Structure formats: C-alpha cells, structure tokens
Chain A
C-alpha cells in the first residue's frame, strides 16, 4: 500500500496538478466560479415567478390562499424578474466569452482590457450571427459555451503571439515617435488581424458546414455530453473525483471542464421548464444541482452523514473532528473531515469514501428515471444545505425527502467501515492513556 501511494504521490499527483493549473482549465474554473452568483440569482428569480403549484387546483384554505398570493406576486414580478433570469443565466454564453477572455489575458499578465473586449468580439463574430450574417442572439445562452471556449482561446493566444512579436509596432530608428503612438499601433494591427481571422473562421465554417460555429460545436461535443450524463459516466466521474480527494487533492481538474457540460444542461432544463415541460420530462439529469446537492451532500464524498457519525462517536478524536466538521458540512465544506479524520490516505475508509458519492449519483439517476423525483432546473449554489438545495432545484417536496433519505443511506454505507476505524482510534486512545 505504501509503495502504491508513494508512486501516486510521486508521479500521478503532479500530473493531475499540472493539468489543474493548465491555463485553459484555470480560465474555465475562474469564469464559472465568478458566475456562480449570477446562476444562483437567475435561478431564484425563476423560482419566484413560477409558483410550483397551480392554486386553482387546490381546495379552499390557507394553502390555496398562499399559492394564490404567490401567483399574484409572480404576475407582478414576471417582467422584472424574468429579465433578471434572462440576463444572468439566460445569456451565460456571452458572460463566459467575456470571462474566459479576461482570465486568460490575466494569466498572460496583459494589463489592458482590450484582449477581453477582443475575445468577446471574436465570439460575437462567430456565434452572434446566422448563416446570412445577420446579428442574432440565439447562442447567447448555453449553446454558445463551447464556441466561447474555442474562440476566446484562439483569439487571446493569437493576439498575444502578434503583440509579443510586436507586429504593427512602428519603430523608426532615430525618429521621435511618441511612445503612446507606438503603443496604439502595437495593439491596432494585431487587433485587426485577430478580428479578420475570426470573421474568416466564421465564414469558412458556414461555407463548409452550412451552419454556424456554435451549432457545429454542439454536434462535435454531443457524444461527450451524452456520455457524461449516462449512469456509467456519472459513476465514473464521481469515482475519479473521489480518488483525487483520497489523495487529498482538489477535484477541479475534473469538475471545471464538467461545469461547462452541466451548466449547459441546467440551462437547457430551465428553458424546457419555462416552455411548460414537466420536471420528469426535462432533457438532462447531470446538472450542477444534481452533482452538488444530490451526490456531494456535505462536500465531495457525501461526508455529511460521516460528520454526523463522528459527532456521536465514542472516540475523542473523531468527536472533535465531528464538532469541527458539522457546521461547515451544512455548507458543503468538508476539509475538516477529509484532513482531520483523516479520510485522505485512510485505507480503512478507502472503499466507502470512493463509492458513497457515485452511489448517490446512481440512486438519484434511478429516482429521476423512474419519475419519483423530477429532474433539476434551478441551482441554489454549492454552499446551500443540500436538502434545501434539492427542494429549490425543482420545487418538489419529494426532492427534499429524497435528499434526506440519501443522507440516511450514506450513513448506513459508511457505518461498518466507520466502526472499524473507530475501534482503531479507541485502541490508540486507550494506549495513549496508559502511557501517560
């Protein structure tokens, strides 16, 4: 065991770390982390203007009065809150294009805001037009995400290449060209070249494929998107993430690229929901609320149940961990449990730590497939206490109950392994006591 962990610590983990700090993955990660308030606010705006129950179907009483009041409020607020939803969640393609350009240019320590504008402009050139070249906003939503990643990376990289070669910078030996003029030309020419290239890319794609770039990207990425959303895909993704955490490494290398897919899925579900599709018939299972509120209850590894077990343990150390870990667990932060119990490198807890979260994924997938709970269309943010997040994800009481049931199941799955580990800890503590 020591040999294996030594090998992984020495060889595999640095590779994972290298990937995690890859500039493109970092830019994606920073963009989505920055946008979380937008997603949360956009989700809440939607929840408020869409009462989950039609009051006319209820019998007269306080419940009917409540939902009638809600319906009245929703009617008044539909326009302003609808606008908030549209211009936060609803145009995430545009926000992503701006954010990706910004974070990538910041990575290259470009102090000017121009590369950010430029990346966004290039995305608009390729994704904000139809085949006739007219300006359309069809792909300002999540269907523009994949083209945003591709185009902003190309644009910022090309701009960086051209400016680092000082293409277009006027330098007349001996002549007194004011530096500001030199700088102006130094960015003008590369900027023009990048924009022309974006226009050319857009036209070539339309000429060859007959559709615009975002539509091509959607087709290209479709197999990966649907594979990630299968039970096998969800199980494997969960397993890999937990393997990272068992080595005490953050999972961003997997979850950041996954964000692109799951947020696009969430947006598609939200759009379908607003068009009147029933929650059980929504197109996608794998969304941020699916992962962060049904799978990772209490943090990666579904450690909320484990925090509860620690809290009532007879071992002094585990009880301390439980006390430290329980409050953060409500907000899905579990570093005290992972590093304090510890779960990291803990051979006794290896099996449940790796398997409980993917099992939550399979159970939730099953419940959604059978229509016991609906699929998700709103996201309360990853810091929301999971059962409440589950309720808000599709406004069904069943989701809240199902999430609570998952916590009980998780506790039962963790329990046998926890008992073995607790026994080890109690023996250690008894020994320490006799030595003293």
Chain B
C-alpha cells in the first residue's frame, strides 16, 4: 500500500516513513511511504491509499480532508506514537482504517 505522510516541512515525518516501511517489510506487507510538506499534499495524492498527518499540523485536518476527498482515508498520527516513532501502532491503525 502507498501512504502519504504530511507534516510542516516533510523533515520529521521522513524519519517515521523509513520505520513504517521497515515495519511493513517485517509483516510481509509492501508499504511505500512518502513524506511531503503540507504545501505539497495536493500534488502527491495519486495512487495513495491513506494520508497520515503529523500531530504538528493536526489543525489542518479539515483542509487536508477537503483536498484529499472522501475516497481516501485520512488520520492524524497520535503525538506519542509520532514522537516515539511507534511504527507498529501507526501501521495497526492504518490497517484498520483501510479495512
């Protein structure tokens, strides 16, 4: 599956992106993660299965939702999961979100 990770500059989410791909590999799922800044969200939506927002841009959820549309699931990463880089928790949530 292809995930889009969004934060302010795409810097800190890129750390989580790597961990998510590793966690996916450990579970035998092919996970492709791209970390982009908020301003690049709309340009990167093609073929994305879920959009994940970093907690520091959580107040932009409504705008992100509008940009993403209703077909693609979107969630805000819990601050602690983000800070502790708990890729397993995040991937669990994404899996249940995609269903």
Contact = CB atoms under 8 A, between A and B. Distances in A.
Interface of A: 13-14, 16-17, 21, 26, 30, 33, 248-250, 252, 317, 320-321, 324, 328, 333, 335-342, 344
Contact of B59 (A14, A320, A336, A341): A14
A13 B58 CA distance: 10
The B interface is mostly helix, strand or loop, or mixed, namely helix
A336 B85 contact: yes
Contacts of A33: 9
B63 A338 contact: no
Interface string B1-15: 000000111011001
5 contacts: A13-B59, A250-B8, A317-B84, A324-B85, A336-B15
A324 B58 CA distance: 22
A361 B41 CA distance: 35
B15 to A, nearest CB: 7
Contacts of B83: 321, 324, 335-342
Contacts of B85: 324, 336, 340
Contacts of B84: 317, 320-321, 324, 336, 339-340
A248 B79 contact: yes
Given A30-B39, A344-B79, A250 B57 contact: yes
Interface string B45-89: 000000000111111100100000000000000011011110000
Contacts of A321: 83-84
Given A248-B56, A250-B8, 13 more contacts: A13-B59, A17-B60, A21-B60, A21-B63, A26-B39, A252-B8, A328-B15, A333-B11, A339-B55, A339-B84, A340-B80, A340-B84, A342-B79
Contacts of B55: 248, 339, 344
A30 B15 CA distance: 22
Contacts of B80: 339-340, 342
